[in-house]
Amino acid sequence: MTTILYVHGTGVRAERYAADLERLTKGLADELPGVAVEPCPWGDVLGVRRPASDGMPPETAAGASDEADRRRAVWARLYDDPLYETRLAVLDAGVDASAVPPRVVKRLESGLRGLPEHGTVRERVGDEGAAALRRAVEELLADEEFDAALPALAVTKVNDLVGRAVTAQYIAVREGAAGPLVTPAERDDLAQEVADALGGTALGAGRKALRTGWRTAQRIAHPAVRRYRHQILERSTPAAGDILLYQARGKPVRTYLAERVAEAAADGGPVVLLGHSLGGIASFETLVAAALPQVRLLVSVGSQIPYLYGMDALASHRYGAPLPGHFTADWLNVHDPVDLLGFPAEPQFPGRVRDVAVDTREPFPRAHGAYWATREVYQAIAAAIERSAR
């Protein structure tokens, strides 16, 4: 009888592993009734342990830091979405764009286009920065949402918000081109220079939008993260920690897998190593490191083997080296193109692995954990097992 050893991925512990194993066993039974699925739960014994303390000092009382925290929270959103504040301002203003004189809109647009050559702004960013600022302004003006917002922004004169939008876009352009890091002081000074160059901000303009922006941003930014740091680390440490621990000291995991292979093959039947994510990496490296002729098939699912191999970051197999002669197992690699953590392997290992792309019907990151809910995966595994038995 063929025995499948299920090697889980990073961060999985007993309760989650049991649920995955149950689903996997049922899915495989529907396709291959005569195959046994055996556990290989390395995480609880060999995975990273949770730290006793996160080292975070007690939460300080609210006070002087509130303003800094609010601004930090807003910038956290602006880095991801430069239109974050201006969008709120437009919604708050309720301006009929058709009623705004075109010359008012044109004045704001001309002011934006002239920023790279404006005296104080140009002095602030320098020649190299001026090119990045010009590109940032063009990208904003080419954005349909920003273009549609110009009438409301022009008539309400919320130039401090526009200044931060321009600055956030400038930072994305400047740092995205491997330019120098823009410091918080440079960021704040530039945002103010841009606002002043556009005519300053009308008294009270955009205050409601700003307060809304602060409240919304703070819910997901640093103050909330700091407050719930222990709970966040409690959930995320196994996932990130297992990867780091395996990269630093992965040999015990590979030794354990080799021992489980020997146990599973005790009745003389063939073994299939089925590894998800980091489990696929460990399974692959176990077969590279030791001769395990009992393993007839390796199945890697949502795996980073090709990516790490391309960076020469695998522990037991150097980039450019052929697979060792004792690696005789067939190899199936299953991935969902939407899963950013799952890679096709054939380009890196031509002629040695069969790639099968599946559709988990989930967006990333859920796609990475949705393979066992996808019938195509079981069909691909069943077909590979049947081929390996010929």
pLDDT digits (tens, 9 = 90+) for 220-264: 444 545 554 445 445 544 556 677 788 878 899 999 999 999 999
Domain boundaries, the chain: 3-47+250-388, 65-228
Q: Determine the average pLDDT of the residues in 265-285.
A: 95
> Mean of the per-residue pLDDT values for the chain?
86
For 3-47+250-388, give the CATH class.
alpha beta
pLDDT in tens, 289-318: 999 999 999 999 999 999 999 999 998 999
Q: What is the pLDDT of residue 64?
A: 43
- The 3-class secondary structure across the chain, one letter per residue, is CCEEEEECCCCCCHHHHHHHHHHHHHHHHHHCCCCEEEECCCHHHHCCCCCCCCCCCCCCCCCCHHHHHHHHHHHHHHHHCCCHHHHHHHHHHCCCHHHCCHHHHHHHHHHHHCHHHCHHHHHHHHHHHHHHHHHHHHHHHHCHHHHHHHHHHHHHCCHHHHHHHHHHHHHHHHHHCCCCCCCHHHHHHHHHHHHHHCCCCCCCCCHHHHHHHHHHHHCCCHHHHHHCHHHHHHHHHHHHHHHHHHHHHCHHHHHHHHHHHHHHCCCCCCEEEEEECHHHHHHHHHHHHCCCCCEEEEEEECCCHHHHHHCCCCCCCCCCCCCCCCCCCEEEEEECCCCCCCCCCCCCCCCCCEEEECCCCCCCCHHHHCHHHCHHHHHHHHHHHHHHCC
pLDDT in tens, 338-358: 999 999 999 999 999 999 999
Q: What is the pLDDT of residue 97?
A: 80
pTM given for the model: 0.68
